[in-house]
C-alpha cells in the first residue's frame, strides 16, 4: 500500500511562509525536526509556476532532516497565473502528486505536502531539493546517454497505467472521458498562431510557417489524431521539466512539472522530447536505437501487442505537439528573452520532426 501525500499545514504564498509553518510541514511528513530559521530564493525557470528553495536551519533535527526543500507556487505574473487557472494546470499538478505519483513508476521528487484551493487556483507543492542535480535546458539539449535515461523514464510512466480504464474516471486528468472539454478551441489556436507569426515573423523559416498554417487550420484533426493504446502522458516532456545528475551527484533523471498530465498516446511524449532535446541530425541517427529501447521498456512492464509500426505512427505526433505548445504558450505566458529563444527552438525542432515523419498527412 502506498503512503498518501500529506497535507501542508495551510495554503500560503511563499512570502507568508515562516519557520513554524515549515516545522508543521516536515513533522506532518514524518520528519522529526523543528525549524529555527531559513532563507528563501527563487529557483528554476518555469513559465507558469514559481519555485522557491528554502534553506533550513534547525533548532532540533533528527538524522535525515533535509538541509533544504523546494516549494512550487502559482506564478506571480498575472498572465501566466490566468493561463495556469484557465488550463487547469495548477489543480492538475497537485492532484497528480496526491493521486498518481505513487503508482506512476516514473522518477518524481519526493513530496512533503500539498495544499490546494481549486476555486482560486492557489496551491502549495513542497518537494525535496534535488540538488546537486541540475535542471535541463531546452536550448542546450541533452547528451545521447541522457536521452536514453529519459526514454527509460517515459516507458515507466506509460507502462504504469497502460490501458487503465480507472484513469478515465479522473476528471482532472486531461483527455479522459470524465474531463471537461479543453480550453483550447480551434478559433483560439488559429488566433494565437496569427499573433505568433506577427510577433516572431522575422525569426521563422518558410517550412515552419507552412507547418503552422496547416496545423492551426486543422487543429480539430490534430485533437482527434490516432486511436492507439492509452496511458498516462506528461504532455510537456522536455529538458526544462527534468533534473539531471551532475558530477557532484544527484539522481540520474527526475521528471518535474506535471501540469499537463493526460491520458493519451505515450509515444507522443517520446517524439516531443527527442524532437527538441537532440539536434535533427542527432535525432535521426539515434531514433532506431531509442525507439527500440522504449519498446523494450514497455515490454518489461508487461505491455503486449504494441509493435514498432504502431509506435512509429504514434511517435510522429510528438513534433506537432511540440510545435503547437511553442506558439500557444508563447502568447499566453509572461514574455522573457529566454522564453522567446526557447519557443523558437521548440517550434523549429518540432517542425523538422513533423516534416521528417510526414506528420501533417495524418491531420484530417
Q: 226 pLDDT exceeds 80?
A: no
Q: Where in the chain is the domain with CATH 3.30.200.20?
A: 18-128
Task: Tell me what pLDDT residue 1 has.
Answer: 37
Is domain 134-362 classified as CATH 3.90.1200.10? yes
Asked if the model's pLDDT at residue 44 lies above 80, the reply is: no
Fold held by 18-128: Phosphorylase Kinase; domain 1 (3.30.200)
Per residue in 76-118, pLDDT (tens digit) is 988 889 988 988 999 999 999 999 999 999 999 999 999 999 9
**pLDDT given at position 83:** 87
DSSP labels for 262-321? EEE-HHHHHHHHHHHHS-HHHHHHHHHHHHHHHHHHHHHTT--S--HHHHHHHHTHHHHH
Q: Where are the beta strands (DSSP E) in 44-178?
A: 49-61, 68-74, 111-117, 122-128, 134-135
Cell of 39: 532563507
Digit-coded pLDDT (tens) for 287-325:
999 999 999 999 999 999 999 999 999 999 999 999 999
d(CA 17, CA 359): 48
Name the average pLDDT for the chain.
94
Residues in the chain, how many?
364
With 80 as the cut, is the pLDDT of residue 215 above it? yes
- Given a cut of 80, is residue 4 above it in pLDDT? no
The CATH 3.90.1200.10 portion of the chain extends over 134-362
Can you give the pTM of this predicted structure? 0.94
Amino acid at each position: 500500500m502506498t503512503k498518501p501525500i500529506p497535507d501542508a499545514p495551510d495554503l500560503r504564498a511563499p512570502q507568508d511562509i515562516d519557520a513554524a509553518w515549515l516545522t508543521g510541514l516536515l513533522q506532518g511528513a514524518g520528519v522529526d525536526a523543528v525549524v529555527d530559521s531559513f532563507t528563501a530564493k527563487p529557483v528554476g525557470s518555469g513559465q507558469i509556476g514559481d519555485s522557491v528553495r528554502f534553506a533550513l536551519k534547525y533548532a532540533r533535527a533528527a538524522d535525515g532532516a533535509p538541509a533544504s526543500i523546494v516549494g512550487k507556487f502559482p506564478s506571480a505574473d498575472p498572465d501566466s497565473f490566468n493561463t495556469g487557472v484557465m488550463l487547469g494546470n495548477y489543480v492538475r499538478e497537485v492532484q497528480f502528486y496526491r493521486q498518481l505519483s505513487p503508482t506512476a513508476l516514473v522518477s518524481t521528487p519526493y513530496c512533503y505536502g500539498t495544499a490546494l484551493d481549486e476555486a482560486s487556483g492557489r496551491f502549495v507543492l513542497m518537494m525535496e531539493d534535488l540538488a546537486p542535480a541540475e535542471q535541463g535546458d531546452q536550448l542546450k539539449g541533452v547528451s545521447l546517454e541522457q536521452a536514453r535515461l529519459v526514454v527509460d523514464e517515459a516507458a515507466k510512466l506509460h507502462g504504469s497505467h497502460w490501458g487503465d480504464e480507472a484513469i478515465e474516471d479522473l476528471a482532472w486528468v486531461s483527455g479522459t472521458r470524465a474531463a471537461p472539454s479543453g480550453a483550447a478551441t480551434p478559433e483560439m489556436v488559429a488566433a494565437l498562431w496569427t499573433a505568433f507569426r506577427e510577433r516572431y515573423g522575422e525569426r521563422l523559416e518558410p517550412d515552419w510557417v507552412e507547418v503552422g498554417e496547416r496545423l492551426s487550420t486543422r487543429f480539430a484533426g490534430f485533437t482527434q489524431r490516432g486511436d492507439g493504446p492509452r496511458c498516462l502522458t506528461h504532455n510537456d516532456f522536455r529538458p526544462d521539466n527534468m533534473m539531471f545528475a551532475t558530477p557532484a551527484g544527484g539522481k540520474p533523471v527526475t521528471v518535474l512539472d506535471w501540469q499537463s498530465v493526460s491520458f493519451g498516446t505515450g509515444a507522443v511524449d517520446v517524439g516531443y522530447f527527442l524532437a527538441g532535446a537532440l539536434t535533427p541530425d542527432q535525432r535521426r541517427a539515434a531514433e532506431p536505437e531509442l525507439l527500440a529501447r522504449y519498446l523494450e521498456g514497455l515490454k518489461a512492464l508487461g505491455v503486449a501487442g504494441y509493435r514498432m509500426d504502431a509506435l512509429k505512427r504514434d511517435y510522429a505526433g510528438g513534433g506537432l505537439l511540440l510545435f503547437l505548445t511553442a506558439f500557444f504558450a508563447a502568447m499566453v505566458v509572461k514574455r522573457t528573452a529566454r522564453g522567446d529563444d526557447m519557443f523558437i527552438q521548440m517550434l523549429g525542432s518540432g517542425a523538422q520532426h513533423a516534416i521528417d515523419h510526414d506528420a501533417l498527412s495524418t491531420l484530417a
